[in-house]
Amino acid sequence: MINELNDINIATVHNPAEIAAHTTLSAASKASILIEALPYIQKFAGKTMVIKYGGNAMISEELKNKVMQDIALMKCIGIRPVLVHGGGPDITDFLEKIGKTSTFVSGLRVTDAETVTIAQMVLGGKINAEIVSRLNSLGIPAIGLTGKDANLLKAHKKLAEIHEANGQTNHVDIGFVGEVTAVNTQLINDLLDNGYVPVISPIGAGKGETTYNINADYVAAEVAGALGAEKLLMLTNTKGIYTSLDDPKSFLSSIPQAEATIMIENGTIQGGMIPKVEAVLHALQCGTKRVSIIDGREPHALLLELFTNKGIGTEII
């Protein structure tokens, strides 16, 4: 359905009905698409949504374009999107070029003074600028920010947690890695109120001139919670949450917050999904109404999740 929209220049779309004119579907099919989307357009118009942009959706040129189109369409129909992006692979690539090896503890990058400078440069100077440029080219006014702009993301040092077999938890200092302590929501809302899409790099401002590299999942959760967002959409490299990783049929389209917590505790949710789900749960506790973990490898994943009856990801409510 949505895949038929690939060649649309979203900048020219001011009315959802115009989308149908660009597709090769029958007239009846075009109408049914719009009718299915209508209640969701009405429900979400004027609402703030935070999008965590990462994974393969940031690597493939085709997927990059489709994600930007999705965000542009969301903006054109009245949604207030806020984009938080990652960029770990790009940071790793740059470090390798200068002969620096990346080390991780509990999924967090060990970040010395040189590495945090490089992370700030790659995230803000390369990735953020590219996203802003792509949105602007679609006619959507976007503004790039790091957490240091107007103290958008205040932060302090985060210690990595290592869980031992005996049940003890050790805390390890891994350098300039931070966690958010406060979000300047006035800055974000001012930009949204004036028609801009904020694009946020996960760099935090510590005391003095200290800079912290922060996990983008946690930044998105903190921003969504602080804004009281209608929805947080987490683009990942998996379809969502399964009750059994070995059984594709065990996929969960919706799950209560309490059940997700139990699945972490009993080991059903494992590996890289743990920090993502923990971030999601934190966002809900801080005021986000709903969160969806969706597969960023799926073309137009955002539109399919928001504007179709079935959706495509796991919604945690």
- Binding-site members are 87-88, 109, 213
Going by C-alpha positions, the residue among 84, 148, 87, 83 that lies closest to residue 118 is 87
Report how far residue 93's alpha carbon sits from residue 101's, in angstroms, rounded to the nearest whole number: 10
Structure tokens at 42: 């009405």
Side chain identity at residue 316, one-letter code: I
Q: How far is 164 from 200, CA to CA, in rounded Å? A: 35
Give the dihedral sign, CA 247/62/135/128.
positive
* Tokens encoding 112: 């010395």
Q: Which residues are annotated as a binding site for substrate?
A: 87-88, 109, 213
Burial 46-79 (b: 16+ CB within 10 A, else e): eebbbbbbbbbbbeeeebbebbbbbbbbbbbbeb
Going by their DSSP bridges, the two strands 290-295 and 231-236 should be labelled as parallel
